[in-house]
A = this chain, B = another copy of it.
Amino acid sequence: MNTFTEENYLKTIYHCSLNAGSASTNQIAAATNTRAASVTDMLKKLADKKLINYTKYQGVTLTEEGEKIALGIIRKHRLWEYFLVEKLDFKWDEVHEVAEELEHISSTELIDRLDKFMEYPKYDPHGDPIPDREGQFKRQELKPVSAMLINQTGVVAGVGDHTPAFLQYLEKATLTLGTKLTVTEVVDYDHSVVLEIGNKKINISREVAKNLLVAL
């Protein structure tokens, strides 16, 4: 078994690699709230265990085994988030921190039974897909609102920022999962976006538009 800390590094490397294909030492340090030197130490350790592909100064990727572990952690995280929201009435902005702890409970029997108890949910409360026991999940084709065209319509299906502050903002603006919206204007000056939701119009900043993901 791997330590709590090793699991967090693997999970972080997985997430960082999603965009760039690989993860850099500094990226990992920022994401885990540690220093680059500490990351280097851990990378050596994970490489020794054959959980990552690591060559000095080159950034890292997960090995098959490393990705399997990372997806296991992500599965746990998302299933627990679903549980917290659906069964214990937490709000979607309150679950991340608790799930960060729960994801390290080792029993896979527990997580499989929890999965069954909740009838095998496919998406967590933020729209992220939940991997199955084999680490398989459907990749949704989501697009940030900032990439939508004028008059294009989409349904809110995910977020690019999981912080409570952002989620609370969306909640207030009625931009929760499932909300149907149409882009009516992109303001030249600041790239903010005007959305039509039902028959109301609201303006969101470019920053928000980049982190609000829709299915078309």
Q: Is A98's beta carbon under 8 Å from chain B?
A: yes
Is A88's CB under 8 angstroms from B101's CB? no
Is A98's CB under 8 angstroms from B84's CB? no
Is B88's CB under 8 angstroms from A113's CB? yes
Q: Is A177's beta carbon under 8 Å from chain B?
A: no
Which of A63-71, A104-112, A178-186, A208-216 binds B? Answer: A104-112
* Cβ distance A146 to chain B, nearest Cβ, rounded Å: 34
- How far is A105 from B4 in the complex, measured between Cα atoms in Å? 13
Instruction: List residues of chain B with CB within 8 A of the CB of A110.
Output: 84, 88, 98
Q: Is A114's beta carbon under 8 Å from chain B?
A: yes
- How far is A84 from B110 in the complex, measured between Cα atoms in Å? 8
Instruction: List residues of chain B with CB within 8 A of the CB of A98.
Output: 105, 107, 109-110
- Interface positions of A from 97 to 123, Cβ below 8 Å from B: 97-98, 101-102, 105-107, 109-110, 113-114, 117
Question: Which residues of A pack against B, CB within 8 Å?
Answer: 84, 87-90, 94, 97-98, 101-102, 105-107, 109-110, 113-114, 117
- 19 of the cross-chain contacts (CB-CB < 8 Å) are A84-B110, A87-B117, A88-B110, A88-B113, A88-B114, A88-B117, A89-B113, A90-B113, A94-B109, A97-B107, A98-B105, A98-B107, A98-B109, A98-B110, A101-B105, A101-B106, A101-B107, A102-B105, A105-B105
Known: A88-B113, A88-B114, A98-B107. 6 other contacts (CB 8 A): A87-B117, A88-B110, A89-B113, A94-B109, A101-B105, A102-B105
